[in-house]
Amino acid sequence: MKECYLNGDYVDLADAKVSVLDRGFIFGEGIYEVIGVHSRKPFALSLHLERLDLNLSEMGLSNPLSSEAWSSLISNLISRNGCAFGTIYIQITRGKAPRNHEFPKASCPTVFVMISESAAKTELEKVIAITAEDERWRGCHIKTTSLFANTRLRNLATSKGAAEAILQYGGYLTEGASSSVFIVSNDGVIYTSPLDSNILPGITREIVIRLSVSMGVPVIEEKIEISRLRTANEIWLTNTSFGIRCVSRLDEGIVGDGQQYEVAQRFHKQLSIEKGIMP
């Protein structure tokens, strides 16, 4: 049995039900979080809860739970499901209301949390990526459940035998369809797109930037012309689910030498140590 949390109760995932009038179902109006679980512990929980808070205020909702309550809910789900490695998924919508574009005067948010188990990975993975036009709205800093543009772009990548679509807007890199993007130039400098409404403030991105300071190779946040990816030595994708991945082929071109991604290896190792999955 797999248990989830829905509006105050722990229930079997197969039995969890929400109304068809839920604004998350009708309008895709909801926000979400994905939090890594490593050795039965949530990773970077406070950063995820801070982002959740910001997203709730974007929606004009107050946080239904205190940080302490979130923390014990998450610990409960981990132990009730006996999950050692995986991800916690939180989704909050404005709840059920008669269909109307206007926000209801009073709302009772739907709060849903589930856990997915996955194997712990310690190897740095290499994947193929394509570039694509960023066709999303200009509110990408909000972690909204309205993800059709993202899922469409990820599926475009899949249809071309790639794992991710790296997006450009106005000739500049934004991010991946489901990841943040970093590049390492020929002279070893690490760059990533600056935080604005074109990208999600990724938690893994934030942790990589913090690590870069302590590792003495600070990441530069600046607008990156998409053409710079063609000459980069390394291209990284980062997210909560997989940590750091290297792009070995972008469109038709090999990235770097296609084999050794030394800077990524160092960051991948350091991130794994932070997560407690490498000594």
* Active site amino acids: 143
- Does residue number 203 form part of the binding site for ligand PDD (CB under 6 A)? yes
The count of other CB atoms within 10 Å of the CB of residue 20 is 9
Rounded Cα–Cα distance for residues 61 and 71 (Å): 20
Q: What angle do CA 91, 88, 17 make, to 5 degrees?
A: 45
Nearer to ligand PDD, 241 or 265 (CB): 241
Work out how close the CB of 130 gets to ligand PDD at its nearest, in angstroms, rounded to a whole number: 15
From residue 122, how far is each of 52, 125, 208, 245, 275 by CA, in Å?
A: 28, 9, 17, 11, 11
Rule CB under 6 A: choose which of 16, 18, 34, 211 binds ligand PDD: 34
- Does residue number 239 form part of the binding site for ligand PDD (CB under 6 A)? yes
Render the burial of 58-84: b for 16+ CB within 10 Å, e for the rest: ebebebebeeeebeebbeebbeebebe
- Does residue number 146 form part of the binding site for ligand PDD (CB under 6 A)? no
- Does residue number 178 form part of the binding site for ligand PDD (CB under 6 A)? yes
Nearer to ligand PDD, 51 or 94 (CB): 51
- Does residue number 42 form part of the binding site for ligand PDD (CB under 6 A)? no
Nearer to ligand PDD, 182 or 261 (CB): 182
Number of residues that bind ligand PDD (CB under 6 A): 15
**Helices and strands, number each (H, E), in the chain:** 6, 15
- Does residue number 179 form part of the binding site for ligand PDD (CB under 6 A)? yes
- Does residue number 55 form part of the binding site for ligand PDD (CB under 6 A)? no
Please tell me the number of Cα atoms within 13 Å of 108 on its side-chain side. 9
Q: What angle do CA 172, 176, 179 make, to 5 degrees?
A: 135
Which residues in the 67-126 window bind ligand PDD by CB under 6 A? none
- Does residue number 211 form part of the binding site for ligand PDD (CB under 6 A)? no
Q: Which stretch binds ligand PDD (CB under 6 A): 6-14, 75-83, 172-180, 210-218?
A: 172-180
Q: Which stretch binds ligand PDD (CB under 6 A): 57-65, 175-183, 184-192, 251-259?
A: 175-183
Please tell me the number of Cα atoms within 13 Å of 71 on its side-chain side. 9
Work out how close the CB of 98 gets to ligand PDD at its nearest, in angstroms, rounded to a whole number: 30
Rounded Cα–Cα distance for residues 183 and 252 (Å): 17
Residues with Cβ < 8 Å from 41, sequence gap 6 or more? 78, 276
Rule CB under 6 A: choose which of 45, 202, 244, 271 binds ligand PDD: 202
Residues in the site for ligand PDD, rule: CB under 6 A?
A: 34, 150, 175, 178-180, 200, 202-205, 238-241
